[in-house]
Amino acid sequence: MKVNEYVLVTGASSKLGKLIAEILAEKNYNLLLHYYKSKNETVALAKKLGKQFKNQNFQVMHIDLSKEYSTNTFTKILYSKVKDISGIINNASRYENDQINNFDKDNFESNINIHFKNPTALISVISKKLLSQNKQGFAINITDKMLNRENYFSYNVSKTLLSNWNSNNIEKTVKIIEFKPGNLMPSKNSKNIVRNFKQKFSELIEYNDGYIRR
């Protein structure tokens, strides 16, 4: 990892996002940690990682991903924070109860923005920048093993859109991979589940390291 080269993690303060950030830090990545409401938690995570990994950089970025943005806006936001971004983990998520017969239009659009429109827009922005730099990068889209949960219509539809797009993507500048974790916490076997998640995600990162020839 070059000094000024970062990986963006959206939803970095969530339990899953925090785990992902810790794994990436252990793999020698500089991180741009995104948050919406959890500023204190994200700043604390950046400081904690900075103390633990003194030769790496950890920045924070605020943006409300439930809103729709142009790629130009994303470009300005991202590259005002850091110079180079070689990867992105689309982890930010919204998980609220709704059904097809009573769903709220605003909630549905927020889910589409968080889980589909903005992840693909962010990948587009990073891909365009990497192409101009003659570099390669990676994107990991966090979806779900269970996209048929009862009473989670907006979540299921929006995550399925991202999953289907991921499966049919032919992008070359950015290696795009879908990752489908199960429920991490709470669980009777939380420690084992977290351990298994870390192992699988670490293997995925190592694969991407080879792809972009670090």
pLDDT tens column, 157-187: 999 999 999 988 888 899 999 998 865 544 4
For 171, the token pair is 């992008």
pLDDT in tens, 67-115: 999 999 999 999 999 999 999 999 999 988 898 888 889 999 999 999 9
For 68, the token pair is 């729709």
Q: What is the average pLDDT across 191-203?
A: 81
pLDDT in tens, 122-156: 999 999 999 999 999 999 999 998 888 888 999 99
Contact 23, 201 (CB under 8 A): yes
Question: What separation in angstroms does the CA of 145 have from each of 37, 181, 214?
Answer: 26, 6, 30
In the chain, alpha helices (H): 15-26, 39-52, 71-81, 105-112, 118-132, 153-167, 190-211
Whole-number Å distance between alpha carbons of 9 and 58:
11
Contact 60, 33 (CB under 8 A): yes
For 139, the token pair is 């994107």
The pLDDT value recorded for residue 184 is 52
Question: Residue for token digits 């982890």?
Answer: 91
Q: Where do the domains of the chain lie? A: 5-211
Q: Higher pLDDT residue, 114 or 189?
A: 114
pLDDT in tens, 39-50: 999 999 999 999
2 pLDDT higher than 80:
no
Question: What separation in angstroms does the CA of 160 have from each of 103, 164, 204?
Answer: 17, 6, 21
The CATH number given to 5-211 is: 3.40.50.720
Whole-number Å distance between alpha carbons of 126 and 136:
10
The pLDDT value recorded for residue 171 is 80
213 pLDDT higher than 70:
no
Q: Which long-range contacts (CB under 8 A, 24 or more apart) does 187-196 make?
A: 194/19
66 pLDDT higher than 50:
yes
Question: Residue for token digits 């990867």?
Answer: 87
Q: 81 by DSSP, 3-state: which? A: helix
